[in-house]
Structure 1
Amino acid sequence: MLLAVNEGKVIGQLGLIPVRLKYDKEIFEAQWACDLLVDPGLRKKGIGNLLFEDGMKRNMITLGNNPSPKAKSLMLAKGFKHIKSAARMTFPLDPSDLLNWVLPSKLKFLSEISGKILKPYFNIKRKKYNAEKSEFKYCDAGEIAPIISKYQSERKQAEILHDNEFLEWRVNGLENFSHRLETMKAREDSYAVHSHFLPYYNVYDWNCSDEKIFIEMLSEIFNEAVKSGAKTIQIMANNPFEEKLLKDAGFLRPRNTETVIQYSPGKSIDSAEYFHFTYYDTDNNL
C-alpha cells in the first residue's frame, strides 16, 4: 500500500498486490494496482499521478482490473495497454437483485415485479443441473495444485502463476473479513475453487474436462450458493467452450469482458494477445 501524506494526514492511497505473472514459459514479478483513492477536496492536483509514478518505479509489470473511468484514464496516459480477457458470467438466483443494477433509477420499481416473473425460469434452469452422483470431492488446495500447474504449463497466454504459495495465500482467506475458499477436484483433470462473498457466490477458478463433469461441478455450486443465501453466482469464462457451457446453463454475459490493462517496463508482455483471468487473481475477495 502506497500512501500520500501531507502534514501528517493521509490524503491518498494506492494498493499494490504482489504476484508472479507467467507468459509463455517465462515468469515475471508483477503487481496489481487497486483501490486508488484521493481526498475529495484535493483531487485534480496530481496526487493520483504521483502515487502511480511511485508504484511504477518498482521496475516490474503493473496490472489493473476494471479500473474506474478516472483511474483508467490516468493509467492509459501512463503507458498502460489493454489485453483481451475473460467474460464474467452471472446466474441470478434472485433476478430482482440483478435488475437493480441494470435498470435506470426511475425504473427500479420494476425490479421486484420483473424478478418474480423471471425467477421460475432460472429455477428450472438450475434444477436441470442437479446431479445425483458426482465425482467431485472436497480436498486441500495442495491437491489441486498439480492440476492447475499442468494446465498453466500448456497455455501460452499471460496469466497469474497459481503455484502452491499463491493457493495457500488466496484460499485460506483473511480472519474476520473473508471466508476460506472451498477447493474440490474430480479425476485428475478437473477442479473448482469457490465460496460465498455475499451477496455473491463466486467460482474463483475452475476447469472441467467434459460436459458431464461440468454438470456435476455446477450442481454442487448451485447447492452451496442457495445454502449460503447468495443472490448471484459469478464465474469467469476464458474460452468459447466454457462460455457455451455456462450460457446453456442459464448464465448471462454482460456486454463487456473483464478489463485488464498492463504496463511492462521492458515490454515483456506487450505481445500477449490474451490474459487468462480468474476471479482470485486480484483483490476480489480481499
Structure 2
Amino acid sequence: MIEIVNYSPKYEKQHFEFATKLFGKRRKRRNPDYIYWKFRGEFQKELTSFKLALSEGKIIGQLGLIPCSLKIVDRSIETQWACDLMVDPAYRGKGVAKQLYASAHEQKLITLGSDPSPSAEKSMLRSGYRKLKSSSKEFIPIYLDVPLRMKKLPYKFVQHVQNPFLGIYKQSKYKQEFKELDIFKVDHHSIFTKRDENSLSISVDDSFKAWRFHSFKDYYPGIKLFNLVLTHTYFSGYHHGNIYFITDLELEKKEHFYSIINFILGFLPNKIDRIRFQNNFDDIQLGHRLTRIVYSIKTSIIYYTEDKTLKEQIDGRYFYYTHQDSDENI
C-alpha cells in the first residue's frame, strides 16, 4: 500500500538518503534548507508543498509544488507549479506518480507545469492536463562553442572563441545609461505592462518577491531590476552558473533590446557563456538574427483543474511565461 505524506523534520534524514540515491551526492535537492526555501515553507515545519510517497514506511517517490498566484484578467487564483517528480526505479509503473499528482490536485484548484519531458507531457495530457500557448525560448551565445556543445557536435576548434557577431550590440549608439532600481519597492505589474490583459501570468506580489527576488545562501543569487534612463524600458535578471537569465522585459522601442544586451555584456563575469530569455512578443524579433538562437520547440505550459468555470476562463489564452515564474534554474 502506498501512502502520500507531507515532508517534515520526521522525514528529513530518510529523504536525504532517497535524494542522494536518485540525484547524487552533489545535488542540492537533498538538502532540507534548500527544500524548505524552494517550496516556500517554514523551516522545520510540515511542508504541504512537498509530497512524499511511502511504501511500508520507506520513501519511494516525491513531488514538489511551488505555491503562487495565477493572474486571470482582473483576479488572482491560488495555484502551484508541479516539479521535481521522482520515483524510485524499483517502483515505477506502479501508479506512484499518479497518486502523488492526485494528492497535489486536492490541494489547489489549479496545478501548473512548465516544460515537462515529452514522455511526461504525454502522460499528463492523458491524465487531464491541458496545454497553453506560451513564449519562445531564445539565447545569445557569447562563445561559438556553446550551440555546438548543446547539439553534441565537435566544438574544441572554437572553444573559448567569442561570438564575432556580438559586435553588433557593442556599437556606441547602443551604449546608453541604465539605473538599478530597488526591485522590492516598485509595483512590478505597473512597470511590465506588456502583459496583455487577456493573457495569463504569475502575480508578482510582495510574498512572491520575498521568495523569488531575494538571494538565498549560495543556492541562488536573487534578481536585479534595471531601467534605461528616461524611457519606459526595463529588464530584470541574474547570472547563475554559466548563464545570464533575463527574467522579464518591457521595451518602449524594440531597438532598446540592443542597449540591454550592450549593458549586460559590460558587467558579465568571464564564466558566463550565454544570455537566455523568453520572447513573449510574437510581433517583435528580439536582437539581431545573426546573434540569437531560437529553440525549435516553444515553452510548454500545462495545467490541471476540475473546475469547469476555470477551464472556460483559461483555455485558449496565452501564458506570459518568464524565467522567474516557476522553479526554472533554481
Normalising by the smaller structure, the TM-score range is: 0.7 to 0.9
Could you say which structure has the higher helix fraction?
1
For structure 1, the 5+ residue unaligned runs are: none
Query: Residue 219 of structure 2 aligns to which amino acid in structure 1?
Result: F
**1:25 matched to 2:74:** yes
Aligned CA distance change for structure 1 residues 22 and 192 (closer, same or farther; 3 Å):
same
Matched residues in 1 for 2:173 and 2:192: separation?
29
Query: Residue 162 of structure 1 aligns to which amino acid in structure 2?
Result: V
Query: Residue 179 of structure 1 aligns to which amino acid in structure 2?
Result: P
Matched residues in 2 for 1:282 and 1:96: separation?
29
Aligned CA distance change for structure 1 residues 146 and 40 (closer, same or farther; 3 Å):
closer
Aligned CA distance change for structure 1 residues 123 and 219 (closer, same or farther; 3 Å):
closer
**1:182 matched to 2:216:** no
For structure 2, the 5+ residue unaligned runs are: 1-49
Matched residues in 1 for 2:203 and 2:194: separation?
8
Does the Cα contact within 8 Å between 2:279 and 2:286 map onto a contact in 1?
Answer: no
Aligned CA distance change for structure 1 residues 95 and 60 (closer, same or farther; 3 Å):
farther
Aligned CA distance change for structure 1 residues 71 and 148 (closer, same or farther; 3 Å):
farther
Deviation string 1:22-57 (CA, Å, 9 cap, x unpaired) is 122221111100111001121111111110111011
Does the Cα contact within 8 Å between 2:165 and 2:290 map onto a contact in 1?
Answer: no
**1:16 matched to 2:16:** no
Matched residues in 1 for 2:256 and 2:105: separation?
43
Deviation string 1:109-151 (CA, Å, 9 cap, x unpaired) is x22225577x4433333424773331x2111113442554662
Deviation string 1:127-185 (CA, Å, 9 cap, x unpaired) is 24773331x21111134425546627752101111223322321102222111222112
Q: How many residues align?
A: 277
Q: Secondary structure at the match of 1:236?
A: strand
Deviation string 1:166-223 (CA, Å, 9 cap, x unpaired) is 2232110222211122211234632211111112110111111113533322212222
Aligned CA distance change for structure 1 residues 170 and 146 (closer, same or farther; 3 Å):
closer
Give the TM-score normalised by structure 2.
0.76
Query: Residue 184 of structure 2 aligns to which amino acid in structure 1?
Result: G
**RMSD value over aligned CA atoms?**
2.4
Could you say which residue in structure 2 is the equivalent of 1:238? 280
**Identity within the alignment, %:** 26
Alpha-carbon shift at residue 7 of structure 1 (Å): 2.9
Could you say which residue in structure 2 is the equivalent of 1:45? 94
Could you say which residue in structure 1 is the equivalent of 2:32? none
2:319 equivalent among 257, 275, 282: 275
Deviation string 1:71-95 (CA, Å, 9 cap, x unpaired) is 2233112211110100011111122
Does the Cα contact within 8 Å between 1:32 and 1:64 map onto a contact in 2?
Answer: yes
1:259 equivalent among 297, 300, 310: 300
Aligned CA distance change for structure 1 residues 155 and 139 (closer, same or farther; 3 Å):
same
Does the Cα contact within 8 Å between 1:85 and 1:274 map onto a contact in 2?
Answer: yes
Aligned CA distance change for structure 1 residues 156 and 270 (closer, same or farther; 3 Å):
closer
Does the Cα contact within 8 Å between 2:133 and 2:301 map onto a contact in 1?
Answer: yes
Does the Cα contact within 8 Å between 1:184 and 1:193 map onto a contact in 2?
Answer: yes
Alpha-carbon shift at residue 250 of structure 1 (Å): 1.7
**1:133 matched to 2:166:** no
